[in-house]
Amino acid sequence: MKGEWIGLSRSGSNPPAEREIELVCGDSSCAKLNGAKFDAVFTDPPYFGNVQYAELMDFCYVWLRKLLGSEMPEFAKPSTRHENELTGNVNMGRGLDHFTEGISRTIRHAVAKLKPGKPFAFTYHHNQLDAYIPMAVAILDAGLVASASLPCPAEMGASIHINGTGSSVVDTVFVCRSTGSFPKCWLASDAVGVAGIVKRDIDELAAGGLKATQGDIRCVSYGHLTRLAIWHLRTTWNMKRPVKERMKEVQDWLAAFGGVGAVLTSLEKTYSQAQSEQKWLMSGMVEESTEREDEVSF
């Protein structure tokens, strides 16, 4: 963004430019935003049931509580567990519908303070396409379009819970806006078209030093399918229906399109000959493209 910088103050400007930094620890679905209007919102939501963040944090929390419990009210409770905790958890009866309601409420709260046409961007990946349905519902509920779904290397090869498995090390960066444009070539009409977009992404990842595995290819495909579902459902979307009905509408569209199976079949050897497990080491960088493309406005 023109004129943007990182930090409290910008060096070299005359007169010096400064900004206010505010850190808040709280529930992001109802955080007080003080009437601000945002130029952008960036977030990293929970990946449904991939990681039980609160359960893992309890190992650290109990020690921190011994040190800080008498001084800081945030450590008053015996555990990090909270009724508004937003992850899928079978043991607590929290399925996709619970996650969908929570992530929709959170995104709508943030987007309400977003300037028209400005980006709401987040990263996401999961091994199952169903876990993308809550994100599609939330974006539609917020009145946004996914103007881009960009693959981005995330987990490093040193991640012991990723390397040597069939999981993905590639996140999808979803960029969403209320109005704007995106390249017309991204608007695939069938699984063959999506396969072509995925193939291009795979080639660009390879240029950056990442040889996509089957798990990576599936996750890249999930991102594009989610983006297309949002695009096609946006004009008739009714967020006032029960959450399970909204989820089913997205699920039905994905099934009618052929799902990820149709995309992987269309990829042929690109998918079947890709390695099945992660053995990734970072090297090189992805170069930005200067290519101009026809765009679709919304």
What is the per-residue pLDDT for 276? 81
pLDDT higher than 90, residue 56: no
At 143, the pLDDT band (50, 70, 90 cuts) reads very high
Q: How many CB atoms lie within 10 A of CB 62?
A: 14
Q: C-alpha angle 152/148/215, rounded to 5°?
A: 40
At 289, the pLDDT band (50, 70, 90 cuts) reads low
Q: Which residue has the higher pLDDT, 115 or 210?
A: 115
What is the per-residue pLDDT for 172? 94
**In whole angstroms, what is the distance from residue 188 CA to residue 226 CA?**
12
What residues pair up with 34 in beta bridges, in sequence order? Answer: none
What is the per-residue pLDDT for 85? 78
Which SS3 state, helix, strand or coil, does residue 30 take? coil
Question: Tens digits of per-residue pLDDT, 172-211?
Answer: 999 999 999 999 999 999 999 999 999 999 999 999 888 8
**In whole angstroms, what is the distance from residue 136 CA to residue 174 CA?**
10
What is the per-residue pLDDT for 282? 52
What residues pair up with 175 in beta bridges, in sequence order? Answer: 121, 148
- The residue extents of the domains of the chain are 117-297
Per DSSP, the residues of 97-166 read HHHHHHHHHHHHHHHTTBPTT--EEEEE--SSGGGGHHHHHHHHHTT-EEEEEEEEE-S-TT-TTTTTSS
Q: How many residues does the chain have?
A: 298
Q: Report which of 89, 173, 165 is spatially closest to residue 135, judged by C-alpha positions.
A: 173
AA identity, residue 15: P
Question: Tens digits of per-residue pLDDT, 7-51?
Answer: 788 776 666 778 777 787 778 888 887 766 888 999 988 877 766
Tokens (6 digits) for 148: 């881009």
pLDDT higher than 70, residue 164: no
Q: C-alpha angle 223/199/150, rounded to 5°?
A: 35
Taking each helix axis as running N to C, give the angle between helix 243-257 and helix 259-267, from 0 to 180 degrees, rounded to the nearest 10: 30
pLDDT higher than 70, residue 65: yes
What is the per-residue pLDDT for 169? 82
Q: For the stretch 209-243, what's the b/e string if a residue is b when 16 or more beta carbons lie within 10 angstroms of its beta carbon?
A: ebebbbbbbbbbbbbbbbbbbbbebeeebeeeeeb
Q: C-alpha angle 80/85/90, rounded to 5°?
A: 105
- Write down the pTM of the prediction: 0.84
**In whole angstroms, what is the distance from residue 111 CA to residue 179 CA?**
13
Q: Which residue has the higher pLDDT, 222 or 155?
A: 222
Q: Report which of 260, 285, 164 is spatially closest to residue 213, judged by C-alpha positions.
A: 164
